[in-house]
A and B are shown apart, each in its own frame.
Chain A
Amino acid sequence: MPRLTLATVTIAAFAFGGSVTADPKRPTPDYDGRGNTDARPSDAVWIPRLALSPVYLAHEVIVRRPLEAVITTAERDHWPSRIEDLLTFGADRNITIFPTAMYDFGVEPSIGATLNAQNLAARGNSVSLHAATWGPQWWTFVADDRYASKGASEETRLELTRREDNLFVGIGPDVTHATSSRYGTQRIDASETLSQRVFGGSSITLVSGIRRTELRDGTCCGDPSLAQLIDDGMTAPPPGFGEASTTARIRAGLKLDSRAPRPAPGTGVYLEAHGEPNVDLSSGQSWIRYGGEAGVALDLDGRQRVLKLVASAELVDPLSSGAIPFYELAQLGGDNTMSGFLPGWMNGRSVATAGVAYTWPVWVWLDGQIRVSAGNAFGDHFDGFAPRELRLSADVGLTSIDARDHGFELLVGAGTETFEQGARITSFRIAIGTRMGM
């Protein structure tokens, strides 16, 4: 232990009850006959030592030694196994509770917990319950029952969510941060998913579900509420504002992926396509959501340094008369598409993005990730699409590798106005936390 000053040692000894016997230490032998003077650092180090001594003392007394006391006590008294006992159940300890936390600059943070039971009703069965909250204005509860066997899976899911921090900036390509506002939603979403792996990472997915959405007032993070903006005449009510909907949907998805899972090299191509007709059971209004994503990945050295070119598009077309509720439009922003923007920053009848992403290993459990993409929300069938109407999004961060259940991510990103508007940075995003886990 570096000994900074006699005072430090004395304080530490008193503070932490260091045991010192009365037996005197023997004199240190003169090992080399010259007093081993080269074993002592230069006297000049005392100047910086003296200057840093308050910080050193604070680190030792406030951080290091208390932590040592807690951790050694925890280990001696088997706290980890007690906590494990507390958080794991079942004959084979197949039921686990683990905490989750997420902070995303610009929306409400959340803390929660997930309870996961493996092989509960049968082998391959996984039941998960997840709850997270940040007060009465933000909570979510998810129940998920999944069976998986030989590449096939069946999943029943119920999700109840209330949040009052949903971002709404506007509809179409030309909206600006000046009109950003918040609104609240309360949703109940029940779904049934069947999935069959075809080969490699390729699969077919069928989803059917019903969703009840009620709108609420909401504010967050310095932004006014959408209702307030409408009341003040600052913006027109978007379609479906103030109306609840109960939507039934069926989604069919196909994913073709030539890439093998890690640790195989990440080179390959993939194509994902989906179609999802929706009908509002209360109004009879209907629409279809469809789109897809195509990507080419090149593992530069066969060691997971993967460069990926990605293009994606999604469209929402009405199947009956009447406008589609604004919260059912195609959206950009969030974790997967144009991550420099918060979720829901861009809304439109169609959205399109193209970009490049690069991931590389930085640790056994972490990849670095950098993504740059261009895209925007447009009108009906990309109406209004023009290169000058595109926005840029870039983000860099760390993400845990291949952890579906309890991943970690740290992301810093930014998004710009359209090129026509000057491409100035209009969105800034920091996200850190564990993924919801389901």
Chain B
Amino acid sequence: MRSIILFFTFIAACATTARPFPLREPLAVDPDRTPFAATCRAAPTHKDPHAIACTPEPYLSSLAWDALDNTIFARVSRGLAVDVGAEAANANALDEVADSSWFQNRSDVAATGGCAADELLPDPEQVADGAWVIDHGKDDGSTLGFRVDIPGKGKYLLKADTPEQPERSSAASVIGMAVYHAVGFNTPCEQVVYLRPSQLTLKPGLTVTGNTGSTHAFDAKALAQVLASSSHRGELVRMEASKWLPGASLGPFRYEGTRDDDPNDVVPHENRRELRGSRVLAAWLNHYDAREQNSLDVWFANDAKHARSPGYITHYMLDASDVLGGDWDPDDMTPRLGNSYYLDFTDIATDFVTLGAIERPWDREQKARGHEKFGFFSAERFDPDTWKSGYPNPAFLRMTERDAAWMARIIARFTPDEIRAIVAGGKFTSASDDEYLAEVLLARQHAILARYFARLSPLADVHVETDGRICATDLARERGVFSQFSYDGFARTGDRRVPIAIDVEAAGRTCFAPRSTANPAWRDDDPRRIAVFVVTNGTSAHAIAIHTYDLDQRGFRVVGLERR
């Protein structure tokens, strides 16, 4: 079997020689935060009727159209456009994604997510009565809340839990965003806070406008309603605090196309690997509400004091309050979340034609006894391959095996201890909730790795050691995803094909010692210096092809990776 894999990989490797990787450092940073001057427009305010705004035009996303379009019309368009899809357009030579305004490759997992130390809020006993000033009600959305201005900390949006799922919504926002942040996305700082009602001061004359456009007063009665609806621990009210993002909000980013008014935005969003691959991340957490309204573009001016200052756009993920088992109305919809779209014509037609003979995952979903607050969030029937968001997401639809495997490699880096530390950020009252959630996340992580490491090679972090060996980490072995590993490989230089000995070391380390055959007289970028090392691990269907330049006594330089 291994020889067959090696043979086909060799054929594939040969096929790629037509366009070799150049001798250059793989792109680590995408310079898409290059400042540019945006067109100025009138933006009158109450204070300054002559104010101008020199930012890209804010995008007002329509909830209804986004759902309807992605459910029906965009899909028809894609079909008529014969939109067959292809690989992501921004994968670098190492089959990774460069740091950008969308994504940062992070080396460690911070349990506090996007919160810096000085953004964490104090315990209630350290806060004076009336110190937190409510300066705004929470306008839209399904959860109740308000904005507070906290001296020395800035503005935070406080959101209440729902009585039906106490503690879940706030914990989900914090845990979900911490995971998104650890993976590499930009997120706001989210944390669970316990507060005394007396530490709040309500600014008079506040109003809130709901999703339907109706406006009403946000007064003491409305505040009491919000506080009463949230979870409590004794006298303390539990809420989720989301740090108000700096910069100017431009509304959500779209999962399709590019912004016309952002010169840095050149890769259609549906072809960005980080957005495509985030389908696997959303599946891990069951972030079925992964739609454009839960994202935000923010304009950062180089000089915030000058309206006409050039700036750039940074893209944020927002609001994961649906993850970890968020429920829906009607109740029957809840077990379908993650398994089927809200309106899934394929599933409806299939169930109709088969007279319901096919047992669906939602037919047997059960809430875990003692952990009903997590709805149907479990690992029992979790299939990352068939997972679906609430309605089709254009980037998710275009995810390829390589995009998914890329995200799986990132998810594999979360150790059990790191997952438990992130879960602890949910500040559940019962320790058993922490244990349950961590176990489910670990089991779902395992399901993801088992699926996506079975096809494409899980070898990652390929690098040249100081002793000249080329080493990688087999994430599948490191995480114990499979049990039987059997390594094999060969080196190809020109037409020569030579077997290589693989050193299998602890913690997934997998190394081999390449032998230089290059002539020092050759130029560094001479194609004759190209050496490709093909390695299989015996568990994934495909090998990894490590493209290097043999720089003779200076060693080998890794210039590209192929997993296919």
A residues contacting B by CB (< 8 A) are 1-4, 18-21, 23-42, 45, 48-49, 52, 55-56, 59-60, 63-64, 67-68, 71-72, 74-76, 78, 80-81, 84, 263, 301, 303, 305, 358, 360-366, 368, 370, 398
Contact = CB atoms under 8 A, between A and B. Distances in A.
A71 B65 CA distance: 6
A64 B213 CA distance: 25
Contacts of B333: 364
A182 B92 CA distance: 75
B495 interface: no
A75 B66 CA distance: 11
Contact of A31 (B22, B39, B89): B89
Contacts of B63: 75
Interface string B419-433: 000000000000000
A33 B77 contact: no
A364 B342 CA distance: 9
A254 B238 CA distance: 53
Given A59-B80, A361-B356, A303 B332 contact: no
B81 interface: yes
A56 B65 contact: no
B82, B86, B355 — most chain A CB neighbours (10 Å): B82
Contacts of B76: 59, 64
Contacts of A39: 86-89, 91, 271
Interface of B: 19-22, 24, 26-27, 30-32, 34, 36-39, 57, 60, 62-65, 68-69, 73-74, 76-78, 80-93, 98, 212-214, 256-258, 260-261, 263-268, 271, 330-333, 336, 343-344, 347-348, 351-352, 355-356, 359, 363, 559-560
A20 B57 CA distance: 11
Nearest to B261: A21
B69 A33 contact: no
Contacts of A78: 212-213
Contacts of B332: 263, 364
B80 A303 contact: no
Contacts of B212: 78, 80-81, 84
29 contacts: A19-B260, A25-B258, A26-B32, A28-B267, A29-B266, A31-B27, A31-B89, A31-B91, A32-B21, A32-B560, A33-B24, A36-B87, A37-B19, A40-B86, A45-B84, A52-B80, A59-B80, A67-B65, A68-B62, A68-B65, A74-B64, A75-B64, A78-B212, A301-B359, A361-B351, A363-B347, A364-B332, A368-B351, A368-B352
A67 B68 CA distance: 10
Contacts of B80: 52, 55-56, 59
Contacts of A370: 355
A33 B93 contact: yes
A68 B271 CA distance: 23
A84 B257 CA distance: 34
A362 B331 CA distance: 15
Contact of B356 (A63, A81, A362, A398): A362
Given A24-B263, A37-B19, A368-B355, A60 B214 contact: no
A362 B352 contact: yes
B348 A305 contact: no
A68 B69 contact: yes
Nearest to B30: A29
Nearest to A38: B87
Given A2-B77, A41-B84, A64-B69, A32 B91 contact: yes
A29 B77 contact: no
Nearest to A27: B266
Given A23-B36, A27-B266, A33-B21, A360 B351 contact: yes
Nearest to B345: A363
Contacts of A303: 363
Given A31-B90, A33-B24, A364 B73 contact: no
B356 A49 contact: no
A178 B90 CA distance: 71
A287 B264 CA distance: 85
A56 B76 CA distance: 9
A35 B86 CA distance: 14
Contacts of B268: 1
B263 A64 contact: no
A34 B77 contact: no
Given A26-B263, A39-B86, 16 more contacts: A1-B257, A1-B268, A2-B78, A23-B36, A26-B32, A34-B19, A34-B93, A40-B86, A52-B81, A56-B80, A360-B356, A361-B351, A363-B347, A363-B348, A366-B348, A368-B355
Contacts of A362: 348, 351-352, 356
B525 to A, nearest CB: 11
Contacts, number: 176
Nearest to B559: A33
Contacts of B74: 64
B81 A4 contact: yes
Nearest to A5: B81
Nearest to B269: A1
A81 B213 CA distance: 7
Contacts of B69: 64, 68
Nearest to A58: B80
A78 B214 CA distance: 9
Contacts of B348: 362-363, 366
Given A368-B356, A398-B352, A36 B91 contact: yes
B560 A33 contact: yes
B261 A23 contact: yes
Contact of A1 (B34, B256, B265, B355): B256
A32 B92 contact: yes
A67 to B, nearest CB: 7
A72 B65 contact: yes
Contact of A60 (B77, B86, B343): B77
Contact of B336 (A29, A35, A360, A364): A364
A30 B267 CA distance: 11
B476 to A, nearest CB: 24
Contacts of A20: 260
A393 B348 CA distance: 25
Contacts of B21: 32-34
A1, A49, A360 — most chain B CB neighbours (10 Å): A1
B283 to A, nearest CB: 21
Contact of B22 (A18, A28, A33, A75): A33
A326 B354 CA distance: 42
Contacts of B38: 21
A84 B212 CA distance: 9
B260 A31 contact: no
Nearest to B564: A38
B234 to A, nearest CB: 35
B105 to A, nearest CB: 14
A3, A21, A41 — most chain B CB neighbours (10 Å): A21
A360 B257 CA distance: 40
Nearest to B22: A33
Contacts of A361: 351, 356
Q: Which 9 A-B pairs have the closest CB atoms?
A: A78-B213, A360-B356, A2-B81, A81-B212, A56-B80, A39-B89, A72-B62, A38-B87, A362-B351
A76 B352 contact: no
B281 to A, nearest CB: 21
B560 A25 contact: no
A301 B77 contact: no
Given A33-B21, A39-B88, A368-B352, A25 B266 contact: yes
A33 B39 CA distance: 33
Contacts of B260: 18-21
A77 B161 CA distance: 30
Given A39-B87, A263-B332, A48 B77 contact: no
Contacts of B19: 34-35, 37
Contact of B266 (A3, A28, A56, A68): A28
Nearest to B394: A1
B524 to A, nearest CB: 15
Contacts of B90: 29, 31, 36
A49 B82 contact: yes
